[in-house]
Amino acid sequence: MKVPSKHIESAVDQIASLPGIGRRTALRLVLNLLQRSEDEVQAFSDAFTEMKANVHQCKTCGNISDLEVCSICLDTRRDETTICVVEDIRDILAIEATESYKGRYHVLGGIISPMDGVGPSDLNIQTLIERVSKGNIHEVIFALSPTMEGDTTNYYIYKKIREFEITVSTLSRGVSVGSELQYADEVTLSRSLLHRQPFKM
Amino acid sequence: MKVPSKHIESAVDQIASLPGIGRRTALRLVLNLLQRSEDEVQAFSDAFTEMKANVHQCKTCGNISDLEVCSICLDTRRDETTICVVEDIRDILAIEATESYKGRYHVLGGIISPMDGVGPSDLNIQTLIERVSKGNIHEVIFALSPTMEGDTTNYYIYKKIREFEITVSTLSRGVSVGSELQYADEVTLSRSLLHRQPFKM
For A95, name the nearest residue in chain B, comparing CA atoms only. Answer: B1
With CB atoms and an 8 Å threshold, state whether A4 touches B72: yes
- Nearest-Å Rg of the Cα atoms of chain A is 22
With CB atoms and an 8 Å threshold, state whether A32 touches B11: no
Q: Which of B10, B32, B90 sits opposite A18 (nearest CB)?
A: B32
Q: State residue B175's pLDDT score.
A: 81
Q: State residue B111's pLDDT score.
A: 92
pLDDT class of B67 with cuts at 50, 70, 90: confident
CATH ID of B57-170, from 2.60.260.20, 3.30.565.10, 3.40.1360.10, 3.30.70.1350: 3.40.1360.10
Q: State residue A125's pLDDT score.
A: 94
- Alpha-carbon dihedral angle through residues A54, A59, A64, A65, given to the nearest 10 degrees: -50
> What percent of chain A stands above pLDDT 90?
56
Q: Which CATH number applies to A6-54?
A: 1.10.8.420
Q: What is the mean pLDDT of residues A114-128?
A: 92
Sequential DSSP letters for A86-138:
ESSHHHHHHHHHHT---EEEEE-SS--BGGGTB-GGGTTHHHHHHHHHTS---
Q: At what angle do helices B6-16 and A38-54 cross, to 10 degrees?
A: 140
C-alpha distances in Å from residue A59, one per residue of A85, A149, B133: 15, 26, 69
| Contact indicator for A93, A100 with CB cutoff of 8 Å | no
Residue of B2, B3, B7, B50 to mutate for A, most A C-beta atoms under 10 A: B7
- Nearest-Å Rg of the Cα atoms of chain B is 22
Mean pLDDT, all residues of chain B = 90
Residue of A44, A108, A123 to mutate for B, most B C-beta atoms under 10 A: A44
pLDDT tens by residue, B126-173: 999 999 999 889 999 999 988 889 999 999 999 999 899 899 998 888
Q: State residue A1's pLDDT score.
A: 62
For A110, name the nearest residue in chain B, comparing CA atoms only. Answer: B35
Per-residue pLDDT at A176 exceeds 70: yes
**Where is pLDDT greater, at B42 or B176?**
B42
Residue A20: half-sphere exposure toward Cβ, Cα within 13 Å: 8
Cross-sheet strand order for the sheet of A79-86: A103-107, A79-86, A139-142, A167-170
- What long-range pairs does A147-150 form, CB within 8 A, spacing at least 24? A147/A111, A149/A111, A149/A112, A149/A113, A150/A87, A150/A111
Per-residue pLDDT at A182 exceeds 90: no
Domain parsing of chain B, residue ranges: 6-54, 57-170
With CB atoms and an 8 Å threshold, state whether B93 touches A34: no
Residue A65: half-sphere exposure toward Cβ, Cα within 13 Å: 16
pLDDT class of B184 with cuts at 50, 70, 90: confident
pLDDT class of B192 with cuts at 50, 70, 90: confident
pLDDT tens by residue, B95-107: 988 888 999 999 9
Per-residue pLDDT at B183 exceeds 90: no
Residue of A1, A2, A7, A96 to mutate for B, most B C-beta atoms under 10 A: A7
pLDDT class of A192 with cuts at 50, 70, 90: confident
For B54, name the nearest residue in chain A, comparing CA atoms only. Answer: A7
Mean pLDDT, all residues of chain A = 90
Separation between Cα atoms, residue B171 and residue B168, nearest integer Å: 11
Label each residue of A126-184 as H, E or C. HHHHHHHHCCCCCEEEECCCCCHHHHHHHHHHHHHHHHHCCEEEECCCCCCCCCCHHHC
pLDDT class of A199 with cuts at 50, 70, 90: confident
Counting every residue, how long is chain A? 201
- CA-wise closest residue to A55 among B38, B45, B24, B29: B38
pLDDT class of B65 with cuts at 50, 70, 90: confident
Q: At what angle do helices B38-54 and A6-16 cross, to 10 degrees?
A: 140
- CA-wise closest residue to A83 among A194, A168, A186, A198: A168
Q: State residue B3's pLDDT score.
A: 76
Q: What is the mean pLDDT of residues A45-57?
A: 93
Q: Bridge-partner residues for B169, per DSSP?
A: B141
User: Which ipTM did the prediction report?
Assistant: 0.78
Q: State residue B1's pLDDT score.
A: 62
For B52, name the nearest residue in chain A, comparing CA atoms only. Answer: A34
Q: Bridge-partner residues for A56, per DSSP?
A: A65
Per-residue pLDDT at B187 exceeds 70: yes
Q: Checking phi first, is residue A36 left (phi over 0); if not, alpha (psi -120 to 50) or beta? A: beta
Residue B23: its H or E element: helix B23-34
With CB atoms and an 8 Å threshold, state whether B49 touches A30: no
Q: Bridge-partner residues for B155, per DSSP?
A: none
What is the pTM assigned to this prediction?
Answer: 0.75
